[in-house]
Amino acid sequence: MSDVVKNYRNIISQIRNFHKEFSQTSKDPKLIAVSKTFSEKTIKEVIEDGHKVFGENKVQEASEKWKSLKKEYKDLELHLIGPLQSNKVKIALEIFDVIQTIDREKIVIKIKDLVDSEFKNRKYKFFVQVNIGNEKQKSGVLISDLRNFLTWIKNDIRLKIEGLMCIPPFDEDPSLYFNLLRNLCDKNNLQHASMGMTSDFGKAIQFGATYLRVGSGIFGKRS
């Protein structure tokens, strides 16, 4: 058994344990295996061990890697967890099943136009990225703008949003931010909260994450 498969099984075991430990608040989250920069060969080890849900940060890199993987393996679910530029929306919709990083009107309009014209037969999930720590250098909708943004998407654009995603400030305890994101989901009647990475997914489970984004904990350090 390879190190990657051992790591993957270990993460799955930890998720189960945290889910039991925090059974009062856990939402039984799904693991997104974040495979950015790793080769098809390495990704296949995890697919062959039964995993179906993966995440990538870059649209172009994902398109090059995942077209053949998705032909070879059925029922894979690929999440975009990195920023989306308007000139890459069409490529993103060709390869991804879930886009987690919607954060501005221009992107929403472009997605809606393409979903209604070229991708009518595909099923997608769309999340809004929240700038949960109000950090200037990070993408995402400010908390103060979130309700209006979601209302505009729902009523004016008629695109279904199913969840929120966040990346908490790097040097602070993420618990406050995870709790805040879950509350924002509940207030806005959104099922999914994508939060928690290799270093803090246990806390994310405690506060009701539905998707966890774990990369280095499975695939190891990136070169």
CATH value at residue 135: 3.20.20.10
Question: What pTM value is reported for the model?
Answer: 0.97
- The pLDDT score that the predictor gives to residue 164 is 98
Alpha carbons within 13 A on the beta-carbon side of 58: 7
Other C-beta atoms closer than 10 Å to the C-beta of 177 total 22
| 178: containing domain | 3-219
Tally of structural domains, the chain:
1
**Separation CA 150–CA 190 (nearest Å):** 10
pLDDT of residue 221: 86
Spatial distance between the Cα atoms of 149 and 160, rounded to a whole number of angstroms: 12
Query: What pLDDT score was predicted for residue 123?
Result: 96
Q: Residue ranges of the chain with pLDDT lower than 70?
A: 223
pLDDT of residue 223: 66
